[in-house]
């Protein structure tokens, strides 16, 4: 590992301290000028030509199909025309490009190498939606630390993660990469990812700059079709979509990425309101913003710019700092400046933003990296990935306590995901290797306690052939229990992989139906990048475990859960629909003037023939699908049971500015040690803008031995109840509130009330 020059290390530590401090202070010029990093930026900038300044705004890639480093790329680096690269995975290429930048380019400014290290580099953790289901930010932080340690051995000091798009639509393929539907949970996860990627000190050679993406509204795509239009009103924008991004700034995210979509008619990559007014002026973000892949020039397709030059003009004026892959800044900025459409002074601000992060990363002192491959797949990394996969798994159904199984059970292991090492890694895993992945089948086979018969039945998730059904049924008949590993291949979720039906694809439902006829109990284990609608088969299976795409160590994690070594503890970070027509369906919806009255609901098949014209039930529901999801947000069973008691609140008439404390005594009434995520929800009963029926306010995951009790204490301030109101400011309005200490978002057994004065 490179040895630091002592003085520069001190300088960096001091400047990081100063820059953190300055976030709490007024970031007026005076404070910035005293920052040694700012002094250094000024000194570098003063020697840069216009061409080099424009060069810093350029991020280029190299196609993995091209083996040699193209000579024109090297030449561009030599001239100072490139500030960053993405996806340079040949270590020699990365080193050579960096050498040219720091030795031969005019100002010797190091490059920053980026990659999508989303849920692990080599050691793959569960997809982010799965990690959110752990409700355990410590594990998430640990996982992103592991990712940074591994990725930095290839010179990657910048990851395009975390994705913080609120996702209410499981048809959208990128829901897999999100933390689900809730702004509070996503904010907690945002902080955990950023702190993990960036480490204690951004200048450490094992730290990666985080990138909060996609700013903003990408998850609100119409119909869940990727890249589609987002119409988000001010209320929703501030109270839901922006919240995790604000948290990202507070957690020190070094960079942001704009989204592909337009927001209310203005593409995000040229949206001054979000990029300048909110991100810079209101939140004080001082890192840099990168476009998404070609998202600047795609504004021509959006119909927002007549050509690439106008697209560049619009993005640069919105202060979008760096352009990913396309070259409109490189091609047109000089001319735009000459024409007075943008000033060199404004460009200086942009270049400063980029240099600031390069300096904070210590790239000037340590431009190269240590290719220490020995730490890839380190034992500790694998253990951490297994723990996260374990805590991410959600038990959704467990009829007659079928799970956990005992070792005497003869098992039939069936299904296309039982032994699919590549598929269980999930989306965005360019670097994970299936050779290192442990599948559930492998895990069971390695343990001679179990009698196993394996028959995949279907060779991949979309397989429609019934050729394998016979053998699978035979295996089932001679076993006690069927473990059916179902789901989606990795490629069916992720970018551009939206689905209009989110049932199990291929012949999986048919095979389950056939297996059900054997009369053997079925444990359905789902590995997928999204909730899967189970309506056609839910009554044919006895237990359901949602494992998401669990990553490298999914096999041992699932085996330990199935066999009862550990109790499942994941909770859903997203409402699970019964059928696709219910989407969008999310727990934190508004009440409407005609909320559902369960007793008055009339199911479609119960309507008399030739019924008199009426509005039947008169509430907001579907005649065929009702009003309930399959499983609510926050839901997840355990092998144990938990009693919630002695729920109390510190004051029933607190004043604005007070801290409020809610306590509850949680007891593990079962026979085994287990973890429980205790959730605190609130409702602001009357607002100057209508408020959601429920909002997650806090949660705590506790571990309890059998029979043990623990008091869970939640503290929150009245600021935590605030919302962005009609006057376009955050307000906490006096009045009546309800609180629930709950097992999930529909559990209202422990209700509290208070009136804010
Ligand atoms: C995705 C980004 C990603 C980028 C670079 C884009 O297509 O939307 O999330 O970071 O590619 O790979």
The domain total for the chain is 4
Task: Give bridge partners of residue 631 from the DSSP assignment.
Answer: 576
Task: Give the 3-state secondary structure of residue 310.
Answer: helix
Segment 419-471, tens digit of pLDDT: 999 999 999 999 999 999 999 999 999 998 999 999 999 999 999 999 999 99
Q: Which of 495, 496, 497, 498 gets mutated to test ligand 1 (max ligand atoms within 8 A of its CB)?
A: 495
Domain contains 378 = no
Asked whether 325 lines ligand 1 (CB < 6 A), one says no
What are the residues whose beta carbons fall under 8 Å from the beta carbon of 247, sequence distance 6 or more? 187, 188, 190, 191
Spatial contact of 416 and 460, defined as CB atoms under 8 Å apart: yes
Domain contains 629 = no
Segment 656-667, tens digit of pLDDT: 999 999 999 999
Separation CA 389–CA 381 (nearest Å): 12
Task: Give the 3-state secondary structure of residue 322.
Answer: strand
Separation CA 444–CA 383 (nearest Å): 18
Same domain, 135 and 192: yes
Separation CA 431–CA 531 (nearest Å): 25
Say whether pLDDT at 299 is over 90: yes
Segment 239-268, tens digit of pLDDT: 999 999 999 999 999 999 999 999 999 999
The predicted pLDDT at position 387 comes to: 98
CA angle 306/310/316 to nearest 5° reads 145
Same domain, 281 and 418: no
Say whether pLDDT at 741 is over 70: yes
The predicted pLDDT at position 703 comes to: 98
Separation CA 110–CA 100 (nearest Å): 9
Say whether pLDDT at 17 is over 50: no
Separation CA 602–CA 674 (nearest Å): 40
Phi and psi torsions of 475, nearest 5°: -60, -40
Say whether pLDDT at 210 is over 50: yes
Say whether pLDDT at 136 is over 90: yes
Separation CA 41–CA 351 (nearest Å): 9
Q: 427 alpha carbon to ligand 1 midpoint, in Å? A: 12
Asked whether 292 lines ligand 1 (CB < 6 A), one says yes
292 is catalytic: yes
How would you label 379-411 residue by residue, b for 16+ Cβ within 10 Å and e otherwise? Answer: eebbebbbbbbbbbbbbbbbeeebbbbeeebeb
Q: 428 alpha carbon to ligand 1 midpoint, in Å? A: 10
Last residue of a domain, one of 538, 562, 586: 562
Task: Give the 3-state secondary structure of residue 24.
Answer: helix
Same domain, 746 and 719: yes
Q: Which of 85, 293, 294 gets mutated to test ligand 1 (max ligand atoms within 8 A of its CB)?
A: 293
Kindly report the CATH number assigned to the domain that includes residue 538: 3.40.50.1700
Q: Which of 165, 292, 463, 684 is the catalytic position?
A: 292
Q: 289 alpha carbon to ligand 1 midpoint, in Å? A: 14
Separation CA 507–CA 509 (nearest Å): 6
Domain contains 448 = yes
Q: Measuring from atom 7 of ligand 1, which residue has the nearest CA?
A: 293
Task: Give the residue with greater pLDDT, 32 vs 411.
Answer: 411
In ligand 1, the atom with minimum distance to the C-alpha of 163 is 9
Which of 210, 199, 119 has its CA nearest to residue 158? Answer: 210
Last residue of a domain, one of 373, 403, 425: 373
The pLDDT confidence band at residue 7, using thresholds 50, 70 and 90, is very low
Mean pLDDT across 150-169: 98
Q: 153 alpha carbon to ligand 1 midpoint, in Å? A: 22
Domain contains 591 = no
The pLDDT confidence band at residue 33, using thresholds 50, 70 and 90, is low
Q: Which of 172, 292, 493 gets mutated to test ligand 1 (max ligand atoms within 8 A of its CB)?
A: 292
Q: 413 alpha carbon to ligand 1 midpoint, in Å? A: 37
Asked whether 177 lines ligand 1 (CB < 6 A), one says no
Say whether pLDDT at 1 is over 50: no
Spatial contact of 111 and 74, defined as CB atoms under 8 Å apart: no
Same domain, 339 and 213: yes
Asked whether 165 lines ligand 1 (CB < 6 A), one says no
CA angle 680/691/660 to nearest 5° reads 40
Asked whether 160 lines ligand 1 (CB < 6 A), one says yes
Last residue of a domain, one of 85, 109, 133: 109
Asked whether 226 lines ligand 1 (CB < 6 A), one says no
The predicted pLDDT at position 9 comes to: 39
Asked whether 213 lines ligand 1 (CB < 6 A), one says yes
The predicted pLDDT at position 26 comes to: 43
Same domain, 357 and 238: yes
Same domain, 425 and 389: yes
Sheet containing 481-487: give its strands across. Answer: 394-398, 543-546, 522-527, 481-487, 410-414, 451-455
Domain contains 169 = yes
The predicted pLDDT at position 2 comes to: 33
Same domain, 369 and 393: no
Spatial contact of 680 and 714, defined as CB atoms under 8 Å apart: yes
Same domain, 99 and 133: no
Q: Cite the beta strand spans of 62-165 per DSSP E.
A: 84-86, 112-115, 158-159
Segment 677-718, tens digit of pLDDT: 999 999 999 999 999 999 999 999 999 999 999 999 999 999
Kindly report the CATH number assigned to the domain that includes residue 234: 3.20.20.300
The pLDDT confidence band at residue 644, using thresholds 50, 70 and 90, is very high
Q: Measuring from atom 10 of ligand 1, which residue has the nearest CA?
A: 160
- Whole-Å CA distances, 21 to 7, 28, 35, 286, 290: 21, 13, 11, 13, 25
User: What DSSP element (H or E) covers 298?
Assistant: none
Separation CA 314–CA 262 (nearest Å): 13
Q: What is the pTM of this model?
A: 0.95
Separation CA 622–CA 612 (nearest Å): 19
Separation CA 52–CA 108 (nearest Å): 10
CA angle 275/281/286 to nearest 5° reads 75
Same domain, 455 and 323: no
The predicted pLDDT at position 287 comes to: 98
Residue 375 tokens, joined = 């730490």
Spatial contact of 134 and 184, defined as CB atoms under 8 Å apart: no
Asked whether 116 lines ligand 1 (CB < 6 A), one says yes
Q: 292 alpha carbon to ligand 1 midpoint, in Å? A: 6
Same domain, 180 and 308: yes
Q: Which of 60, 64, 118, 160 gets mutated to test ligand 1 (max ligand atoms within 8 A of its CB)?
A: 160
Q: How many CA atoms lie within 13 A of 220 on its CB side?
A: 19
Same domain, 355 and 424: no
Q: Which domain holds residue 153?
A: 116-373
Segment 391-404, tens digit of pLDDT: 999 999 999 999 99
User: What DSSP element (H or E) covers 8?
Assistant: helix 6-24
In ligand 1, the atom with minimum distance to the C-alpha of 260 is 8
Domain contains 210 = yes
Domain contains 208 = yes
The pLDDT confidence band at residue 616, using thresholds 50, 70 and 90, is confident
Segment 61-90, tens digit of pLDDT: 987 678 888 999 999 999 999 999 999 999
Which of 146, 184, 76 has its CA nearest to residue 381? Answer: 146
Q: 293 alpha carbon to ligand 1 midpoint, in Å? A: 6
Mean confidence (pLDDT) of the chain: 95
Same domain, 167 and 269: yes
Q: Measuring from atom 2 of ligand 1, which residue has the nearest CA?
A: 292
- Whole-Å CA distances, 646 to 464, 640, 659, 664, 717: 54, 20, 20, 5, 21
In ligand 1, the atom with minimum distance to the C-alpha of 213 is 9
Domain contains 479 = yes
Which of 236, 217, 238, 237 has its CA nearest to residue 228? Answer: 217
Asked whether 495 lines ligand 1 (CB < 6 A), one says yes
The pLDDT confidence band at residue 57, using thresholds 50, 70 and 90, is very high
Say whether pLDDT at 28 is over 90: no
Q: Other C-beta atoms within 10 Å of 143: how many?
A: 30
Share of the chain above pLDDT 70, in %: 95
Mean pLDDT across 480-504: 98
Spatial contact of 273 and 217, defined as CB atoms under 8 Å apart: no
């Amino acid at each position: 590992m490179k040895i630091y020059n002592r003085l520069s290390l001190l300088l960096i530590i001091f400047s990081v301290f100063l820059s953190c401090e300055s976030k709490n202070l007024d970031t007026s010029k005076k404070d910035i000028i005293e920052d040694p990093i700012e002094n250094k930026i000024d000194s570098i900038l003063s020697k840069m030509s216009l061409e080099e300044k424009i060069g810093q705004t350029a991020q280029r890639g190299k196609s993995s199909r091209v083996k040699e480093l193209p000579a024109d790329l090297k030449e561009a680096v030599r001239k100072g025309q490139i500030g960053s690269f993405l996806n340079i995975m040949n270590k020699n290429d990365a080193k050579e490009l960096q050498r040219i930048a720091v030795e031969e380019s005019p100002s010797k400014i190091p490059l920053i190498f980026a990659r999508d290290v989303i849920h692990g580099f080599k050691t793959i953790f569960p997809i982010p939606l799965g990690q959110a289901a752990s409700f355990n930010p410590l594990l998430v932080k640990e996982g992103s630390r592991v990712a940074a340690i591994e990725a930095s051995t290839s010179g990657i000091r910048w990851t395009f993660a975390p994705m913080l798009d609120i996702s209410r639509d499981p048809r959208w393929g990128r829901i897999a990469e999100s933390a689900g539907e809730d702004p509070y949970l996503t904010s907690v996860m945002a902080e955990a990812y950023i702190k993990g990627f960036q480490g204690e000190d951004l200048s450490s050679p094992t730290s990666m700059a985080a990138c909060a993406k996609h700013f903003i509204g990408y998850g609100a795509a119409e119909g869940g079709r990727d890249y589609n239009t987002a119409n988000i009103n001010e209320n929703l924008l501030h109270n839901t979509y922006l919240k995790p991004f604000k948290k990202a700034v507070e957690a020190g995210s070094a960079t942001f990425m704009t989204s592909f979509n337009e927001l209310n008619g203005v593409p995000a990559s040229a949206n001054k309101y979000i990029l300048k007014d909110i991100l810079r002026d209101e939140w004080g973000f001082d890192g840099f913003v990168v476009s998404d892949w070609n998202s600047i020039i795609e504004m021509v397709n959006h119909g927002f710019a007549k050509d690439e030059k106008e697209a560049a003009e619009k993005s640069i004026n919105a202060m979008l700092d760096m352009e990913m892959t396309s070259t409109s800044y490189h091609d047109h900025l000089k001319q735009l400046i000459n024409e007075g459409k943008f000033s060199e002074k404004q460009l200086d601000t942009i270049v400063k933003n980029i240099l600031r992060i390069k300096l904070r990363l210590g790239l000037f002192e340590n431009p190269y990296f240590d290719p220490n491959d020995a730490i890839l797949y380190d034992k500790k990394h694998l253990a951490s990935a297994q723990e996260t996969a374990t805590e991410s798994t959600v038990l959704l159904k467990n009829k007659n306590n079928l799970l956990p199984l005992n070792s005497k059970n003869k098992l039939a292991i069936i299904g296309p995901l039982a032994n699919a090492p590549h598929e269980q890694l999930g989306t965005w895993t360019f670097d994970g290797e299936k050779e290192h992945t442990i599948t559930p089948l492998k895990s069971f086979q390695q343990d001679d306690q179990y009698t196993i018969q394996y028959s995949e039945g279907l060779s991949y998730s979309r397989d429609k052939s019934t050729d394998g059904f016979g053998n699978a049924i035979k295996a089932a008949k001679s076993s006690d229990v069927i473990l059916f590993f179902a789901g989606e291949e990795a490629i069916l979720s992720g970018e551009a992989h939206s689905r209009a039906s989110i049932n199990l694809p291929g012949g999986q439902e048919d095979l389950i139906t056939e297996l059900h006829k054997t009369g053997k109990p079925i444990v359905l284990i789902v590995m997928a990048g999204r909730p899967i609608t189970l309506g056609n088969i839910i009554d044919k299976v006895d237990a359901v475990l949602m494992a998401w795409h669990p990553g490298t160590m999914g096999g041992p994690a699932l085996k330990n859960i199935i066999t009862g070594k550990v109790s499942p503890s994941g909770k859903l970070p997203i409402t699970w629909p019964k059928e696709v027509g219910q989407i969008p369906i999310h727990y934190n919806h508004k009440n409407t003037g005609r909320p559902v009255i369960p007793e008055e609901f009339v199911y479609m098949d119960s309507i008399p023939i030739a019924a008199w014209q009426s509005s039947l039930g008169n509430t907001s529901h579907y005649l065929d699908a009702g009003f309930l999801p399959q499983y609510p947000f926050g839901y997840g069973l355990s092998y144990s049971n938990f009693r919630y008691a002695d729920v109390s609140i510190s004051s029933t008439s607190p004043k604005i500015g007070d801290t409020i404390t809610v306590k509850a005594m949680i007891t593990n009434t079962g026979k085994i040690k287990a973890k429980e995520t205790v959730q605190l929800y609130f409702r602001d009963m009357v607002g100057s803008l209508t408020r959601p029926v429920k909002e997650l306010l806090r949660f705590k995951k506790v571990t309890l031995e059998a029979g043990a009790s623990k008091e869970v204490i939640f503290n929150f301030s009245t600021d935590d109840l605030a919302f962005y109101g009609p006057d376009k400011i955050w307000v906490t309005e006096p009045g009546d509130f309800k609180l629930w200490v709950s097992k999930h978002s529909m559990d209202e057994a422990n209700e509290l009330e208070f009136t804010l004065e």
